[in-house]
């Protein structure tokens, strides 16, 4: 089952869910603030991101209030991968959303052109 971690007040998440509904894709919607992705899920996403040239920074909601409050941009270069994944798993608002994981799917954020290639 496809898991979609989302935030109801996030316009990007709303667009992503409408996209999935239009494509008749089954998914489990999870509130990212109440239940952040696990460290295992975050690690799986990070592996997929790295395969596409991404990095740990791509997992962070860099425009979020919490990202700025925690001064992550200053701390991230000196943070281990394990520390970053632990932090993300403890604070759902730090995670870039929507965060979508399935058997053969690993997407973070919503770029319609990228999603059309997958769905």
Q: What is residue 32's predicted lDDT score, i.e. its pLDDT?
A: 97
Which residue, 86, 95, 103, is CA-closest to 30? 95
Residues whose CB is less than 8 angstroms from the CB of residue 65 and which lie 6 or more positions away in sequence, other chains included: 93
Task: Note the pTM of the prediction, 2 decimals.
Answer: 0.94
As a whole number, the mean pLDDT across the chain is 96
CB atoms inside a 10 Å sphere around CB 90: 10
- Determine if the peptide bond prior to 98 is cis (ω within 30°): yes
C-alpha dihedral, 15 to 112 to 67 to 56, nearest 10°: 140
Q: Average pLDDT, stretch 28-52? A: 97
- Per-residue model confidence as pLDDT tens digits over 110-119: 999 999 999 9
Q: Average pLDDT, stretch 38-64? A: 97
Q: What is residue 99's predicted lDDT score, i.e. its pLDDT?
A: 98
CB-CB contact of 60 with 35 (8 Å): no
Q: How far apart are CA 42 and CA 96, in angstroms?
A: 11
Q: Domain residue spans in the chain?
A: 2-118
- Per-residue model confidence as pLDDT tens digits over 63-108: 999 999 999 999 999 999 999 999 999 999 999 999 999 999 999 9
Q: Average pLDDT, stretch 16-39? A: 97
CATH class of the domain at 2-118: alpha beta
Q: What is residue 28's predicted lDDT score, i.e. its pLDDT?
A: 97
Phi then psi for residue 71, to 5 deg, are: 50, 45
């Amino acid at each position: 089952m496809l898991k979609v971690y989302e935030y109801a007040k996030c316009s990007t998440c709303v667009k992503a869910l409408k996209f999935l509904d239009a494509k008749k894709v089954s998914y489990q919607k999870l509130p990212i603030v109440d239940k952040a992705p696990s460290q295992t899920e975050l690690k799986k996403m990070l592996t997929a991101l790295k395969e596409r040239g991404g990095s740990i920074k791509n997992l962070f909601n860099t425009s979020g209030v919490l990202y700025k409050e925690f001064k992550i941009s200053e701390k991230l270069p000196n943070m281990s991968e394990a520390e970053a994944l632990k932090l993300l798993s403890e604070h759902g608002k730090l995670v870039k959303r929507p965060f979508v994981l399935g058997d053969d799917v690993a997407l973070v954020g919503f770029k319609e052109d990228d999603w059309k290639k997958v769905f």
